[in-house]
Structure 1
Amino acid sequence: MDLYGKDFLCTQEWEVEELMAVLDLAAKMKRDRFSPRWSRVLENKTFFMFFYNPSVRTRQSFECAATELGGHAQFLEPGAMRLKTEKTAGETIEDATQVMSRYASGLGIRILEDKIGAYGEGDDLLRQYARWASIPIISMAHDKYHPCQGLADIMGWAEWFGQGPGHTLDMGVLEGKKLLMTWGHGALARSWCSVQEGLLIASRFGMHITLACPEGYDLDPQVIEWTKTNCGAHGTEFQIVHDPCSGYEGAHVVYSRHWMSPRAYVDGEFQKQKEVEMALKYPQWICDEEKMALTTDAIFTHPMPVDRGHEVTDAVASGPRSVIYNVAENRLHVQKALMALTMGNL
């Protein structure tokens, strides 16, 4: 299997066998993190990181990954690059991408809700870069998908239900397990990328899916259809509920996160304050110990940053069955494996 040069914009666009290649290598790299066998994979190679939005885990994990592979990650900001936009003159995506392809071995792009004027614009931007690039384009989170987070999620869940970190990854342990993806109220207006990626990748690995949200917080219809199709291929169940409690029953993995409504953009502007005010009207949509008691001894997962006291209580987020830090660590390992396979000399 040759993944060299392959773009990574959404896990749904990769075969399960290709995702497994990344996960298997990530597990090996995690088990033997500083082995000399990995330290020259990206020797003398640069990975450009193009940040429209700031981050904590994304920048840190990609920079660490590049360093541990013997390469270099270079931080870029659009404001310092004189790029053409709808409102300003500058260099076209075609020209910028063609040049960057001559310099670097890969390009990551992060663009989220408040840097676009309508849902889908971030995804369109990444695909324009992918059209002109001769190097792999990797989503570091955009308005539709967060594929690196999806890999880190599924790896963390499989480790928990399997033999644990440091052992061979057995994805079969997730088959037949139930994921509850539940909306959480909060003071942050978040994009759909992480939750949509969670639905897609969990359904690709044979999990039952329950999506819980208040009326009016529907996700991308295409993602819902893909999730249904994935579940159908495995003979697993997909359901949507609109109350804050019933979905917890029988759950093995609980993923509580706020996401914006489909009405978040008006006339090309992101309505952040309105979204926050609307979300705070649903305090019953919080993951707490009472709801977790309805589950099948479920683990709690979240891509971070956690809006504690809104999406989830401290008792759950910092509890003994929380995997938030395990998953955050796995961002490093899956990205390291992804870079090695798409850009490296393995």
Structure 2
Amino acid sequence: MDLYGKDLITTQDWGKEGLDEVLALAKGMKKHRYEEPYTEILKYKTFFMFFYNPSVRTRQSFEAAATELGGHAQFLEPKAMRLKSKDKAGETIEDAASIMSRYGVGLGIRILEDAVEQYGDGETLLREYAKYASIPIVSMAHDKYHPCQGLADLMGLQEHMGDVKGRRITMMWGYSSMVRSWSSVQEDILLLPRYGMNFTLAYPEGFDLDPEVIETAKKNAEKAGAKFEITHDRFEAVKGADVVYSRNWMSPKRYAVGKEEDQKLALQYKDWRFTSELNNLTNKAYFIHPMPVDRGNEVDDEVASGPRSIIYDIAENRLHAQKAIMALTMASGWK
């Protein structure tokens, strides 16, 4: 499958063949990390990174990825640029996308809920850049999805479990005051059932995710011969699970009531934590998390740092998955 020039805004936009190609290349790049021809793929080429929201691993992994491919990643903050917004005059998306397409080979954008007014605004912005740019647009996490994290999660599970078809993952809401985005969890909700994983989603009443995403995930699961279920009982949810992903996410009220009020909603569920007690109910489950982990709230420290935790492997896989994405979408004729 030819992925050159293709945008990656969510894995749902790509066929499974393309995703498999990324995963296979990422595993090869991990094994032969500093060897040719991988180190020459983006030689002398520039990848632009727009950060509407700050990050740690995203910036580190994308900059390292560009460097290891022989290229350069340029860090940009829109607030320091003359870009048109609702409140100020400046360069339009059409103009910015068209000009950057003359300078670089790809553009990554990170825009989460703190940088938008309504859910979906970040996705709209990415797709508008994709409309006008002649270079690939890659989501570095936006208000709806985080495709690079989803691919890193899947890559890590495949490395530790082999074929994930028929294995069971429980994604469980975990208490935190951090009021986290939906992007990472919704990406996995879409992606992992496509690979045949039985998916259990567990959360307290009032912390529903995007209903359209849930419906698509159910269809993905049905097509792959997998199960998708939702429960509000965390004890039942983890019984027999092969993988547990315990992470906080905001409520649907976040955009209307603000971050502080959403923190108050979460306070009544401080007992929602992936504890050692819950871990004992699983099928010796692997623990995954996109990080940073809110230890002692989302998950017990001994689980997050336990022998079945693969959070560091997955964090490393962000680098390799992103290298593969960049190589396949930004380097003409390279496979």
SS in 1 for 2:40: coil
How far is the alpha carbon of 1:226 from its aligned partner? 1.0
Letter in 1 for 2:164: L
2:240 corresponds in structure 1 to: 250
The question of 1:186 aligning with 2:172 is answered no
Q: State, as a whole percentage, how many aligned pairs show the same letter.
A: 61
SS in 1 for 2:148: helix
Letter in 2 for 1:36: E
2:316 corresponds in structure 1 to: 329
Cα distance in 2 for residues equivalent to 1:253 and 1:280 = 26
Matches within 5 A, 1:97-112: 97-112=97-112
Letter in 1 for 2:203: C
1:131 corresponds in structure 2 to: 131
TM-score scaled by structure 1?
A: 0.95
The question of 1:226 aligning with 2:216 is answered yes
SS in 1 for 2:295: coil
SS in 2 for 1:39: helix
Cα distance in 2 for residues equivalent to 1:38 and 1:174 = 28
How far is the alpha carbon of 1:244 from its aligned partner? 2.1
How far is the alpha carbon of 1:320 from its aligned partner? 0.5
Letter in 1 for 2:20: M
The question of 1:209 aligning with 2:199 is answered yes
Q: Judge conservation of contact 1:113–1:143 (CA < 8 Å) in 2.
A: yes
Cα distance in 2 for residues equivalent to 1:244 and 1:237 = 17
The question of 1:22 aligning with 2:9 is answered no
Cα distance in 1 for residues equivalent to 2:267 and 2:296 = 11
The more displaced of 127-136 and 83-92 is 83-92
1:236 corresponds in structure 2 to: 226
The question of 1:306 aligning with 2:263 is answered no
SS in 1 for 2:38: coil
Count of residues in Structure 1 that have an aligned counterpart in Structure 2: 333
Match of 2:249 among 259, 262, 266: 259
Letter in 1 for 2:57: R
Match of 1:287 among 271, 274, 279: 274
Q: Judge conservation of contact 1:112–1:142 (CA < 8 Å) in 2.
A: yes
TM-score scaled by structure 2?
A: 0.98
Cα distance in 1 for residues equivalent to 2:214 and 2:16 = 19
1:164-218 C-alpha deviation (Å, 9 max, x unpaired): xxxxxxxxx2000011011111010111000001111111100001000111111
1:14-64 C-alpha deviation (Å, 9 max, x unpaired): 001100000000000000101021111001110000000111110000011
Letter in 1 for 2:231: V
Cα distance in 1 for residues equivalent to 2:323 and 2:305 = 27
Q: Judge conservation of contact 1:244–1:284 (CA < 8 Å) in 2.
A: no
1:144-176 C-alpha deviation (Å, 9 max, x unpaired): 0000000000000111113xxxxxxxxxx2000
Q: Judge conservation of contact 1:113–1:190 (CA < 8 Å) in 2.
A: no
List alignment gaps of at least 5 residues for structure 2. none
